[in-house]
Chains A and B, each alone.
Chain A
Amino acid sequence: MNSKDSQYKQIIEENQSRIRSVCRYYAGVSDDSEDLYQEILINVWRGLEKFRGDAQLSTWVYRIAVNTALSFVNKKNKYLNFNTYLDDGKAANLVGEDGETKLVHEKQLEVMADLINELSVVDKIIMSLVLEELNTKEIAEIVGITESNVRVKIHRIKEELREKVKGGKYDY
């Protein structure tokens, strides 16, 4: 087995859960999710020769996964709706620093998913990476904007979500 094969296998094995997570986030548990996963595997293979090691491997994989999701056209010849699906583990990443400002309770997952789905595509991409527990620097590297811009966007999105939760539209 040559180096490209083994490198590819290693990358996929080490990042399988990240790729699956991106697929679930953007395509839920539909057939599109499996199709998207396969397309990401192909794009990782094709992109392997361009990997220079100047970014972390996980960041590089996330780039391919998000870019593929953005350009993914399903069997019905439609782009993904970018409908978000949250699971318990991911939602915990929306928790505020002190616990008292906790934004998400497990039972509120569905509502939170609805709120995130009301965000723009760009904000959903940023949130998908926040939910993956990536730090500002990593998100900036994946998306290609400055760290300060990432911080501003995350702050604004969280504020927007808080406002919506507080605004009475979603009363618990």
Chain B
Amino acid sequence: MTIKKIIFPEGQVPDLDQVVEQLKNLDNKNKRLMYRMFILYVVFAVFYLGLMILNPDPELTIANRIQGVIYVLVFVVAAFFFRHHYRKTYQADYTAPVLKMLEDARERHQLLRPGKIWFILFIVLVSDFAVTWALTDQTWPVSWSLLETILVIQAGYFAVMGISYLIGYLVWRKKSRPLVRNLTRLIDEFRQE
């Protein structure tokens, strides 16, 4: 159900007091939901971290434990980044001047923004490190040297990353590129004297 349907269930604008009441209820509900999600997330992360560090399983080596901790940390950092990105993307500032709102929207919908590139690079490289470390510990059916094993892992890892990027690019090209072009046209027209 959309926010509008919750606040205006009959499709018409009711008495202003009712609108205010509905808006406040929705704000409180959202706040509670966000708080619960945050708590759930923290509990899950702490539990999993504890499991990786304190698990008494004798087959779990120190290396396995450190790899597990890196996965959890990458997961937590990525989740916070995407939450922040989602908020910035989908919560436009309607109170800004029209030109500023359009410029912000264009920036948000660009495929690669400087902040986003560095962050994604960081996540990809840290994950690469953890994955490579974990996989070189495994027994391989072919007797490769350590360097060969690392190269094969890198080839596989970056092929998966490349395919993921390609899928992301195709989705962006279909959904966001026309919007970015349209916004650029409007912005240029506004600026033109």
Contact = CB atoms under 8 A, between A and B. Distances in A.
Contact of B95 (A8, A51, A145): A51
24 contacts: A8-B20, A8-B23, A9-B16, A38-B4, A38-B13, A39-B4, A41-B13, A41-B19, A42-B3, A45-B20, A47-B93, A47-B94, A50-B93, A63-B94, A67-B101, A70-B102, A71-B105, A120-B189, A122-B190, A125-B98, A142-B97, A145-B99, A145-B191, A149-B193
Nearest to B5: A38
Q: Is the interface of A mostly helix, strand, loop or mixed?
A: helix
Contacts of A29: none
Interface residues of A, number: 38
Interface in B21-42: 23-24
B12 A34 contact: yes
Given A8-B20, A42-B4, A122-B186, A63 B96 contact: yes
A143 interface: yes
Interface core residue of B97, B98, B186 (most chain A CB under 10 Å): B98
B167 interface: no
Contacts of A67: 92, 94-96, 98, 101
Given A43-B94, A145-B191, 17 more contacts: A5-B20, A9-B16, A9-B17, A38-B8, A38-B13, A45-B20, A50-B95, A64-B94, A67-B94, A67-B95, A68-B94, A71-B105, A142-B98, A143-B98, A144-B99, A145-B99, A145-B190
Interface core residue of A68, A70, A120, A121 (most chain B CB under 10 Å): A70
Interface of B: 3-4, 7-8, 11-13, 16-17, 19-20, 23-24, 92-102, 105, 186, 189-191, 193
Contacts of A34: 11-13
Contacts of B186: 121-122
Interface in A16-58: 34-35, 37-39, 41-43, 45-47, 50-51
B8 to A, nearest CB: 5
A5 B94 contact: no
Interface of A: 5, 8-9, 12-13, 34-35, 37-39, 41-43, 45-47, 50-51, 60, 63-64, 66-68, 70-71, 120-122, 125, 141-145, 148-149, 152
A115 B7 CA distance: 37
